[in-house]
Amino acid sequence: MVCRTDSGGRTSDRGISGLRHALALKQPRTFSTSPEATEKRAVGMTGDGYLIEGAPATPETVRDIRNRITRFSRYHGATEDQTGDIALAVTEATTNVARHAYPSRSEGTLDLCSRVEDRTLTVVIRDFGVGLEAQGANGGLGLGLMLMAKLTASWDVEPANPGTRITLRFALTE
């Protein structure tokens, strides 16, 4: 999973390997949703990064992620207005996963990685669903995408084969 941008704004995976290593040194915490799948999900936080892997793409997970990203952005000095924008954009992105990535309503998962570097909060959400091409047939007005564009400093949506990767970047004021 990609969670870091280079000086040209391109994403790379250098940051996630360091985050995974740091999290491996800690006891992974788990989601507080359905207990039967707890062992499948790892959640962890280091000083500058946050990682969730294999979370179920459900409304309960969307709520949990919203709460976690709110705490994470506050921890890194986001203002209340910024925290609200970050929480709303991440909620829209994860809601899109829950609604569109797995149209047959089969069990699906998502990964989320957030990282702060040089006063920029980057959040990457990845699903393993049907991908962008098939999602067009799922309906929707694209309002969530327009909202994400308005609330972020920059953003990208790209195919992840399988699935989709959404990268949201937020400039944190000093």
pLDDT, one tens digit per residue, over 97-145 is 988 888 876 779 999 999 998 999 999 999 999 887 665 555 565 788 8
Residue 36 pLDDT exceeds 90: no
Report the pLDDT averaged over residues 136-165.
Answer: 84
pLDDT, one tens digit per residue, over 49-103 is 778 888 899 989 999 999 999 999 999 999 999 999 999 999 999 999 988 888 8
Looking at domain 33-171, its CATH class is alpha beta
Amino acid letter at 89?
A
Boundaries of every domain in the chain: 33-171
Written as six digits, the tokens of 62 are 């969307």
Predicted pLDDT at 73: 93
Helix or strand (DSSP H, E) at 115: strand 109-117
Predicted pLDDT at 40: 36
